[in-house]
Homo-oligomer: A and B are copies of this chain.
Amino acid sequence: MQIQYALELLGTLVFAISGALAVKDKSEDWFGAGFTGFVTAIGGGTLRDIMLGSYPLSWVGDMNIIYTILFGVLLTSFFNKFLQNLRRTLSLFDSMGIALFTVAGVEKALSMGVRWEIAAIMGMFSAVFGGVIRDTLVNETPVIFRKEIYASVCLLGGMLYTLLNYFELERDINFIVTASFIMSARLLAVKYHINFPKI
């Protein structure tokens, strides 16, 4: 349980950073950066919890999520130049975020007793929705519609998690294995421009 919680907070942190960083590209104000970081970080989990009917929403019931987001936004503003100079930083934080949110989403859905197919879909939605809001807020084409594979990796990762779970792999190990798979697959897809076949 402790590893799951730690990974959820880490996912929240990297999504908050990816949201705040995205705004910096457009030279918006401080509040806008915090707002975008906040909405990016809570978007996926909020959609997941609403779809599952799980109340209170995770960020409504746990102030640590709010503190983590504030910390991520502050971090972004202090190390802004440094982070922006790393060309692929946004992509890196986004990839970590979708990996961690997929496994957290699948696990939560399974714990509420839904079937594995539905749990994998829930994991995918919770992973990609924060990024969709972020990119819409800063007027970029949502990452989900760009070339390289994205949501498909989350869905595949979600299925992998439920498969390993079926074979009773220890949950904390499953978390780390599946999240590593999603993150590596996504980063490789970006680096080598791997796409799905056209229709």
**Interface, chain A (partner B; CB < 8 A):** 23-24, 27-33, 35, 46, 50-53, 55-57, 59-60, 63, 66, 77, 80, 114-115, 117-118, 137, 145, 149, 151-152, 195-199
Contact = CB atoms under 8 A, between A and B. Distances in A.
A50 B51 CA distance: 7
B52 A53 contact: no
Contacts of A57: 51, 53
A107 B29 CA distance: 29
Given A46-B51, A114-B56, A137-B145, A33 B63 contact: no
22 contacts: A27-B198, A28-B198, A28-B199, A30-B196, A31-B152, A32-B145, A35-B151, A46-B51, A50-B50, A51-B57, A51-B60, A52-B55, A52-B56, A52-B60, A53-B55, A53-B57, A59-B118, A60-B114, A60-B118, A63-B117, A80-B199, A137-B145
A104 to B, nearest CB: 18
A29 B33 CA distance: 33
Contacts of A23: 199
Nearest to A142: B137
Given A46-B51, A50-B50, A51-B57, A199 B152 contact: no
Contact of A199 (B24, B59, B149, B196): B24
A102 to B, nearest CB: 15
Copies in the complex: 3
Judged by DSSP, the binding face of A is helix
A66 B27 CA distance: 41
Contact of A29 (B28, B30, B59, B198): B198
Nearest to A118: B60
Nearest to A195: B29
B197 A30 contact: yes
A56 B56 contact: no
Contacts of A66: 117-118
